[in-house]
Each structure stands twice: as C-alpha cells, then as structure tokens.
Amino acid sequence: MRRLVWNELLPKDRYVVRMVRPISFAEMGFVAQLYLPVVGVESFALYQLLVHEVQETSGAAAESTHRGLMLMTSLPLDRLLVARERLEAMGLLEVRRRENQQRDYYYEYLLKPPLTPGEFFADYVLSLMLLNKIENVRYQQLRRKYADQLAAGLESEYSRVENLTKDFHEVFHSLKPSELEVPKGSERERFLAEMEESFPAAAMQAGYEASSSQRLNFSSLRINLPSNANPNLVLNGEGIEFLYKLMHFYQMDSWGLGQELSDWTLYKPDGSLDRDVLRKRLVQKYLDHKLFRETSLPEEFADALGPGKLPEPGGGLYARICRQLSPLSLLEQVVGGRVSKAFLDRAESLLFADGLPAEVVNVLLLHTLHSSQMELPKAYLETIRDSWKAKRISTVDEAMRQIMERADARNQAAEKAKRAKKETDGAVRRGGRSILQDKLPASVQRQLEKEKQQAEEKQKETRLIQDDPELKALLDALRRGE
C-alpha cells in the first residue's frame, strides 16, 4: 500500500538549507565510505545536493521548492521523502516546518556533519548495519584505513602526559583594555550595528560535535549487566528490538534502562532476560512514580493534541503524531497527566503482547478514544486488533485506510436503512405495526383514478347548484312539473 505522501509534503512547498557548521572534504568522505552503504544512493545524492546548495564561503542559506529537488534528483515525491527520512534517522539532517496564516508550509533543513570513523565504529547499531551491508572483507579494509596504530602505541609506551598549551592571555598579554572599548554612540558602534543588521552571519557552530541519533548505548548496558546475565542472550537481535520498544514506550534513556537491567533477579537460569518480569516491574514503577523518564512534546503537536483534544483523523500531522509519539506519551497528552493502570495495560499489551507496531497502536488508541467518548473499552479494542492482525496492518497509512473504509461502510449502512424507512412510511398500520400493501396493476390503478375524478366533478356540480338560490328554485320547479 502506497504511503499518503501528499498529506505530508507537496512539490510546491518551499525549503531553506542551512549548515550547523562547515562540512569538510574529509567528512564528505566519511559519508561516502560509512553512511552510503546504510542509507542508499538516493539519500547520499540528496545529502550531497543539499550540502552544495549552501554557500561554502559564508554559509548563507539557499532557498528552493521540493519540485526543484524532484527534478534535480529524478525522484518522485514519495522516494524523495524516504531518502530525506533516512538522513534524519542517521543524524545527518534535522527538519523543521513553519506555517503561515494561509496554511502554506516552509521547511528548514539543517545539515549536520557525520560521525568520525572512531565514533561510527563505536556505535554498536551503526557498525553492525554497515557490516551487514558490505560484509567482512570490505569492513576490514575500512577499519584498517581509519585505524591509528601509532597513537595507540604512543599511549602505551609514553603513558605520562603533560599539557603545555598556552592560554590566550598568556600569549596576548600586551592587549590593553582601551583597545576593546567601543564608546556608546560613537561612529564605530553605529558601524558595527549597521554591519550586524545588514549582513547577519550564518548561524553555524564551530564547536558543534556530531552525535549518533541512536539513544541505546550498548557499551553502558553491558557494563550494567549482572554476573548471572549472558550478554549474548540479552543483547541479541530480538533482545535489542525489545529494549528499543521499552525505551520508546516509556521514553527512557540508556542510563535508566541500564539501572533496571542491573537487577540479577530479572534473569533466568540460562542467563537470558525474563522480559515479562521486566515489563511488570516497569508498569508498577510507572504507577508508583518511581520511573525516571524523558517527556517532551514537539511544538507542532501542541495545538492538535491535549487534555480531551484529539487530532483530526487523516492528514500529515495525524500521521506524524502516530509515528513519533510513544503510545504512553500519546495517552498522557490526552488525559493531561499520568494515565491509569487500565489505560497503561491496554497500550502496553497492544505493543508487547500483541506485537502491533507502535504507530499502529497509536492509530488504534486514537480511533477508540474518538469513537468511545474518551474511553478504551477492552472488547472494542480487541475486535479491531484482531481484524488488523489478520490483515497484517503494519503502518499508519494502512491503519488509517482501514478506519476510512470502516466509516464508509457505516455511512452506507445508515443510508440504506434510511431509504428502507422511507419506503415503509406510506404503509397501512394495524395494531401499531406497519403492513405493506400489494401494488395494484397499472390498468386497475388508472380506472380507479378515473372514477375518483368523475365523482369529484359530479360532487362539485351538485355543490354549485345547491349554493345558488335561483338555480335551486328552478330545479325544484322542474321537479314539481311546473
């Protein structure tokens, strides 16, 4: 099923490109060597294009429309959006959207530099994703290319280090305070103010440090595991997926999750993690206000989501809310605070026990709240859940399509019932019940209408004679034979 891209982005929408700081030639090489196999050619080409749209000397922003991007990259809008989102997921691009009174959108694309090879290979997820794409031989070549064996040898052989770097004031000690003064109202102050207003500098940061968008730090998790835990069973592929779900649902960080995993009672005799026990513990800690979490709502969601307020079904904003927020955060926004155990159990069970994707869970929760007057009846939830699982619904767009089809079916049924009621309005009622009459043949119907018309004319003629005194007297004389 195709994604409803037109609800999220239009070719006419404008955008502006900025850089968080200048991106060097070497860093572009990092993107080509390390990121390209993971994000694909289309995302790499988009990143290159956006980088070169910004003026290298000044960092001045560049403006265009998404139609121009489609023409430059030869990509349709849906593939262009997917390519952009891969850059966002890898921490190479940050996207903000502005809106005016006419509901026109303006996008800000903030380009970010890549991780250094050391930081990239230190990231457990990124390193494995690259290895899966390029396999062992090429991976070994890259590790050798970006290795620094000389520095490692110096650290082991010359272990004592003294920092001899001089401070600014140690070098420029002859600088006088009068040289840095700008008198108020002076020509120099006016000149500086004019330069600041006429030629504002690009908002780049020399001290910006690239960071991975992955919030799960596997190194810290391994350190926190107790001695009776088997890291190979806890941090395998299926285990990592489970931990990511936990972090997203409860909005936890690696440190908080590591503290939870440090409890030795959570593990089975074979060293694997007892996930059901951990789930129950986190539920209880949440209800007891003992769970450390990071809760924040994007500004663009504030107007559409709040206590007793639900976003309008369909559209790009609805889809973004379902994709970005965790089911627990979504419910907290709707109720205006911490949710009850019943609400928590409903959302937690849909995600972990039933295996629905988080974005599909959000659609189901919003639909149920809207249809059931801000309640989450278990039977209603389970009915739709079973239907969606049978149909293998896995995305927001597919779930929204099901809701729309369900609404259309209800409207058609209501219209059919309305027409049936109209057909029975003329029925003869006997004993309080409607009795349908058989329809007469057309010839009989015409004869009855003709006789009825003749009777009405005769009655009218008689009524006119009786109402006229002279005609009445004449008629009476004729009857007497006068």
Is the model's pLDDT at 428 over the cut of 50? no
At residue 249, φ and ψ (nearest 5 deg) are -65, -45
Q: Which residue has the tokens 């903030």?
A: 110
Q: Which residue has the tokens 């196999």?
A: 37
Is the model's pLDDT at 36 over the cut of 90? yes
Q: What is the pLDDT of residue 48?
A: 92
Residues 247 and 314 grouped into a single domain: no
Would 29 be classed as within a structural domain? yes
Residues 267 and 335 grouped into a single domain: no
Q: Which residue has the tokens 């919030």?
A: 215
Is the model's pLDDT at 164 over the cut of 80? no
Is the model's pLDDT at 220 over the cut of 80? no
The Cα–Cα gap between 277 and 257 comes to 14
Q: Which CATH number characterizes residue 69's domain? A: 1.10.10
Helix axes 254-261, 275-287, angle to 10 degrees: 120
Q: Is beta strand 14-19 parallel, antiparallel or unpaired with respect to 62-65?
A: antiparallel
Q: What is the pLDDT of residue 83?
A: 93
Would 196 be classed as within a structural domain? no
At residue 14, φ and ψ (nearest 5 deg) are -85, 160
The Cα–Cα gap between 337 and 323 comes to 21
The Cα–Cα gap between 421 and 212 comes to 63
Would 260 be classed as within a structural domain? yes
Would 192 be classed as within a structural domain? no
Burial (CB count within 10 angstroms: exposed 0-12, middle 13-18, buried 19+), residue 393: buried
CA atoms lying within 13 Å on the CB side of residue 356 = 34
For the record, the structure tokens of 138 come out as 């090429």
Residues 371 and 268 grouped into a single domain: no
Residues 407 and 448 grouped into a single domain: no
The Cα–Cα gap between 454 and 449 comes to 9
Instruction: Name the domain count of the chain.
Output: 4
Residues 448 and 336 grouped into a single domain: no
Which range of residues forms the domain containing residue 277? 218-281
Q: What is the pLDDT of residue 479?
A: 66
pLDDT top residue among 425 and 246: 246
Is the model's pLDDT at 469 over the cut of 70? no
Residues 224 and 330 grouped into a single domain: no
Residues 222 and 277 grouped into a single domain: yes
Q: What is the pLDDT of residue 160?
A: 81
Residues 395 and 464 grouped into a single domain: no
Residues 313 and 395 grouped into a single domain: yes
**Segment of 139-153, 191-205, 272-286 carrying the highest mean pLDDT:** 272-286
Nearest Cα to Cα of residue 257 among 275, 270, 269, 271:
275
| Structure confidence by residue, pLDDT tens digits, 259-310 | 888 889 999 999 999 999 999 999 998 888 888 777 777 777 777 788 888 8
Q: What is the pLDDT of residue 186?
A: 82
Q: What is the pLDDT of residue 39?
A: 92
Cα dist from 332 to 244, 347, 370, 476, whole Å: 20, 11, 15, 95
With cut-offs at 50, 70 and 90, classify the pLDDT of residue 238: confident
The mean per-residue pLDDT over the stretch 311-324 comes to 81
Would 337 be classed as within a structural domain? yes
| Structure confidence by residue, pLDDT tens digits, 329-341 | 889 888 888 889 9
Residue where one domain finishes, among candidates 369, 397, 414: 414
Residue where one domain finishes, among candidates 102, 134, 166: 134
2-11, 260-269, 426-435: least confident range: 426-435
H or E element at residue 62: strand 62-65
The mean of the pLDDT values for the chain is: 80
Torsion of the alpha carbons at 58, 64, 66 and 71, rounded to the nearest 10 = -90
Residues 114 and 40 grouped into a single domain: yes
% of the chain surpassing 90 pLDDT: 16
Cα dist from 337 to 283, 308, 331, 334, whole Å: 16, 11, 8, 8
Is the model's pLDDT at 363 over the cut of 70? yes
Is the model's pLDDT at 319 over the cut of 50? yes
Q: What is the pLDDT of residue 33?
A: 92
Residues 268 and 327 grouped into a single domain: no
Would 146 be classed as within a structural domain? no
Whether 48 contacts 41, CB under 8 Å = no
| Structure confidence by residue, pLDDT tens digits, 40-97 | 999 999 999 999 888 776 667 778 889 999 999 999 998 999 999 999 989 999 998 8
For the record, the structure tokens of 219 come out as 């190194």
The Cα–Cα gap between 390 and 123 comes to 37
Is the model's pLDDT at 1 over the cut of 50? no
Whether 88 contacts 110, CB under 8 Å = no
The Cα–Cα gap between 363 and 296 comes to 20
**Residues facing 109 on adjacent strands:** 17, 95
**Segment of 103-112, 146-155, 196-205, 469-478 carrying the highest mean pLDDT:** 103-112
Residues 273 and 306 grouped into a single domain: no
Q: Identify each DSSP E strand in 255-338 by its residue range.
A: none
The Cα–Cα gap between 427 and 185 comes to 94
With cut-offs at 50, 70 and 90, classify the pLDDT of residue 464: low
- Residue 480 CB partners (closer than 8 Å, separation 6+): none
8-12, 104-108, 174-178, 409-413: least confident range: 174-178
Would 27 be classed as within a structural domain? yes
Nearest Cα to Cα of residue 263 among 295, 285, 294:
285
Would 30 be classed as within a structural domain? yes
pLDDT top residue among 187 and 41: 41
The Cα–Cα gap between 267 and 288 comes to 23
Residue where one domain finishes, among candidates 95, 114, 134: 134
Q: What is the pLDDT of residue 438?
A: 54
